[in-house]
Amino acid sequence: MALPPPLLLLPLLVTRRSFCCADVLGQAHCWGCRILAVELTSKDFKPVVQEFQSIELSCIITSTTTPDPRIEWKKIQHGETSYVFFDNKMQGDFATRAEIYGRTSLVIKNVTRMDTATYRCEVAAPNDKKNIDELNIELTVLVKPVTPRCRVPKAVPVGKSASLHCQENEGYPAPIYSWYRNSEPLPTDSKSNAKFQNSSFILNPETGTLVFHTVHKGDTGRYYCIATNDAGVAKCEEQEMEVYDLNIAGIVGGVLVVLVVLVLITLGICCAYRRGYFVNNKQNGKNYKTPAKPEGVNYIRTDEEGDFRHKSSFVI
The 3-class SS string of 38-107 reads CEEECCCCCCEEECCCCEEECCEEEECCCCCCEEEEEEEECCEEEEEEECCEECHHHHHCEEEECCCEEE
CB contact set of 33 (below 8 Å; sequence gap of 6+): 11, 17, 18, 19, 20
CATH architecture of 39-142: Sandwich (2.60)
CA distance 171 to 141: 10
CA distance 213 to 189: 11
How confident is the model over 218-245, as pLDDT tens digits? 999 999 999 999 999 999 999 999 999 8
CATH of domain 149-244: 2.60.40.10
Q: With cut-offs at 50, 70 and 90, classify the pLDDT of residue 253.
A: low
Polymer length of the chain: 316
CB contact set of 236 (below 8 Å; sequence gap of 6+): 147, 148, 149, 150, 166, 224, 225, 226
Residues 224, 225, 227: CA angle, nearest 5 degrees: 155
Over the range 42-67, which residues count as b (16 or more CB within 10 Å of their CB) and which as e? Answer: beeeebebebeeebebbbebebbebe
What does the pLDDT read at residue 10?
36
How confident is the model over 141-195, as pLDDT tens digits? 999 999 999 999 999 999 999 999 999 999 999 999 999 999 999 999 999 998 9
Could you tell me if 51 and 231 are in contact, meaning their C-beta atoms sit under 8 angstroms apart? yes
CA distance 59 to 71: 10
What does the pLDDT read at residue 138?
98
What's the N-to-C CA distance of the chain in angstroms?
Answer: 188
Report the pLDDT averaged over residues 187-214: 94
Phi, psi of 295 (to 5 degrees): -65, 145
Which range among 50-64, 266-280, 287-301 shows the weakest confidence by mean pLDDT? 287-301
Closest CA to 199 of 162, 239, 247, 152: 162
Could you tell me if 190 and 199 are in contact, meaning their C-beta atoms sit under 8 angstroms apart? yes
Helix extents (H) in 120-278: 248-274
User: For the chain, where do the domains classified as CATH 2.60.40.10 start and end?
Assistant: 39-142, 149-244
Question: What is the pTM (predicted TM-score) of this model?
Answer: 0.65
Cα torsion 268, 272, 278, 279 to 10°: value is 150
